[in-house]
């Protein structure tokens, strides 16, 4: 008695099964475990989160604030939360969107304000302006962003610099203070429209 010879479909099924098993093994080998927790003067973190995406909702249930960061760590000794390369997306009371990003972020105990440091950018895409500085603070409860470090505010070809910056997102107010300087070239036909 002879066994029937496997057909084309059987060989195709076995080939796909073998290929799937091989890809699964390769995928598992390429997935690396999280790296070591970076050392800190404040002691070892009690927890950390990688690939963080957090959303805060307003009273009407709409996304109000979104925070993304490759890594968040909390140290219990000083009760500080540190963020690596955070990006914060905000929506004010009028529905306008704002984006803030930096190299590092820090939330002290109590959670307010969020301090951003290193290559800080605050952008208002609908107004077509962008602020750059080395340090920015944001209070999520009052929607107030401020910097006590030198800032540069750009809108199209215009540029302003100051020693201090304040923005009240919900009130649509921005204030530059202390040694304010501006560069406002005359309008030409080649200038992009905002």
All structural domains of the chain with their residue ranges: 47-183
Dig out the tokens for 17 from the structure: 């099964």
Question: Does the pLDDT at position 103 exceed 90?
Answer: yes
Share the mean pLDDT of the chain.
Answer: 80
Mean pLDDT confidence for 104-111? 82
Does the domain made of 47-183 have the CATH classification 2.60.450.10? yes
Q: Helices in the chain by DSSP H: which ranges?
A: 8-30
Q: What phi and psi values does residue 18 have, to the nearest 5 degrees?
A: -65, -45
Q: pTM (2 decimals)?
A: 0.68
Question: Does the pLDDT at position 192 exceed 70?
Answer: no
30 vs 120, higher pLDDT: 120
Percentage of the residues of the chain whose pLDDT score is greater than 70: 86
Question: Mind giving me the DSSP string for 64-97?
Answer: EEEEEEEEEEEETTTTEEEEES-EEEEE-TTS-E
Dig out the tokens for 160 from the structure: 């302003």
What is the structure's pLDDT at 102? 92
Question: Does the pLDDT at position 1 exceed 80?
Answer: no
What is the structure's pLDDT at 109? 78
**DSSP three-state, residue 51:** strand
Q: For 173-185, what is each residue's pLDDT tens digit?
A: 788 888 877 777 7
Q: Which of 21-30, 47-56, 69-78 has the lowest mean pLDDT?
A: 21-30
Q: For 121-150, what is each residue's pLDDT tens digit?
A: 988 877 788 888 999 988 888 888 888 998
Where is 107: in which H helix or E strand? strand 104-107
Distances (CA, A) of 59 to 68, 97, 111, 180: 22, 18, 19, 38
Q: What phi and psi values does residue 13 have, to the nearest 5 degrees?
A: -60, -45
Neighbours of 60 (CB within 10 A): 6
Residue with tokens 């929506």: 91
Burial 20-36 (b: 16+ CB within 10 A, else e): eeeeeeeeeeeeeeeee
Mean pLDDT confidence for 59-66? 82
């Amino acid at each position: 008695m002879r066994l029937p010879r496997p057909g084309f479909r059987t060989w195709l099924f076995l080939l796909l099964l073998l290929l799937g098993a091989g890809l699964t093994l390769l995928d598992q080998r390429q997935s690396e475990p999280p790296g070591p927790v970076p050392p800190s003067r404040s002691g070892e973190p009690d927890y950390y989160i990688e690939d963080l995406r957090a959303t805060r909702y307003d009273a009407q249930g709409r996304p109000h604030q979104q925070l993304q960061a490759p890594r968040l760590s909390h140290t219990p000794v000083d009760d500080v939360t540190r963020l690596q390369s955070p990006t914060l997306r905000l929506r004010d009371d009028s529905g306008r969107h704002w984006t803030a990003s930096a190299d590092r972020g820090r939330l002290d105990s109590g959670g307010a304000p969020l301090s951003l440091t290193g290559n800080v950018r605050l952008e208002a895409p609908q107004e077509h302006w962008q602020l750059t500085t080395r340090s920015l603070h944001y209070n999520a409860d009052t929607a107030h962003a401020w910097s006590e470090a030198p800032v540069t505010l750009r809108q199209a070809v215009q540029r302003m610099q100051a020693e201090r910056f304040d923005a009240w997102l919900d009130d649509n107010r921005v204030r530059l203070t202390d040694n304010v300087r501006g560069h406002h070239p005359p309008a030409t036909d080649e200038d992009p429209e905002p």
